[in-house]
Structure 1
Amino acid sequence: MRWSELIETVRETGQYDGAADAERVTRAVLSALGGHVVGDVRVELARQLPTEAARIVADRIPAVRPLTAAEFVESVAKCLPGATPATARWDVSSVLTALTRAVDEELVDRLLDLLPSGYALLFGRAELVRAA
């Protein structure tokens, strides 16, 4: 997938008015995600993403502690002028759902294993919990 195709996928998924809006939220979300993806998963994610997206992910310094899904959405909201928690959740989900179309499913599984519980819905997936 090329960068322009990723942006178009985000635009369609999030129903944004234009490519500029989709690109703005894509950059913010990928930048935030880059701080929470480490090790082999980070390398593989960068390998499978378009060059521009890979650069955004790889340029981030790893976070000191992983954010919960809600904290992650809040951190993205702070990077998007005028965003509310609800609009930021929409933006995050639009980008991460589009990301699942750009990389293979096994990598998405590895990403979700790396991130704290609660991120699956942001990737457009159900979060299954084992019965006790």
Structure 2
Amino acid sequence: MAYDEFLMTVTELGGYSEREDAARVTEAVISTLGDRLPPEIAEHVADQLPAPVDELIEGANSTPQNWGVQEFVHRVAEITGDHEEQAEEHSRAVLTAVAAQVTGGELNKLISDLPTGYAELFGHPELS
């Protein structure tokens, strides 16, 4: 999937009226995800995402953070300047688009590396 298609998916999932809004929240959510993941998992996920989304996740922190869902959402809210409720919706839209791009096995590894609750953000509560 090309970047434009990825943004179209995020736009539809998030109900954004402007492509720029989808790009802005995608950057916030993906870079935050990259900070949360160990580099080897981030690299595997990035391999399945279109440029420049792949670069956002790979270019993140080399020392993964250990945040739960609430802190993840809080950090997205800080970046976007939105309330945490809106940041959670942004996260759901972007991470559901990511889940649609990542193979099943890689998605399982990704979600199993994260604490409970992240599976719902990826649109797969059954993987919790």
TM-score using structure 2 length: 0.93
Task: State the AA in 2 paired with 1:110.
Answer: K
For residue 51 of structure 1, give the secondary structure of its aligned residue in structure 2.
Answer: coil
* 1:40 Cα deviation from its structure 2 partner: 3.1
For residue 98 of structure 1, give the secondary structure of its aligned residue in structure 2.
Answer: helix
Unaligned runs of 5+ in 2: none
Max radius of gyration: which structure?
1
Task: Check whether the contact 2:35–2:65 (CA below 8 A) recurs between aligned residues.
Answer: no
For residue 120 of structure 1, give the secondary structure of its aligned residue in structure 2.
Answer: helix
For residue 60 of structure 2, give the secondary structure of its aligned residue in structure 1.
Answer: coil
Calculate percent identity across the aligned residue pairs.
Answer: 34
Q: What CA RMSD, in Å, does the superposition of the two structures yield over aligned residues? A: 1.5
The equivalent of 2:108 in structure 1 is 109
Task: Check whether the contact 1:112–1:120 (CA below 8 A) recurs between aligned residues.
Answer: yes
What is the CA deviation profile of residues 66-87 of structure 1, one whole-angstrom value per residue up to 9, with x for unaligned ones?
Answer: 1001110001000002x10110
Structure 1 distance, partners of 2:113, 2:65, is 12
Structure 1 distance, partners of 2:64, 2:40, is 18
Which 4+ stretches in 1 moved above 2 angstroms?
A: 62-65
Task: State the AA in 1 paired with 2:116.
Answer: S
Task: Check whether the contact 1:118–1:127 (CA below 8 A) recurs between aligned residues.
Answer: no
For residue 40 of structure 1, give the secondary structure of its aligned residue in structure 2.
Answer: helix
TM-score using structure 1 length: 0.90
Unaligned runs of 5+ in 1: none
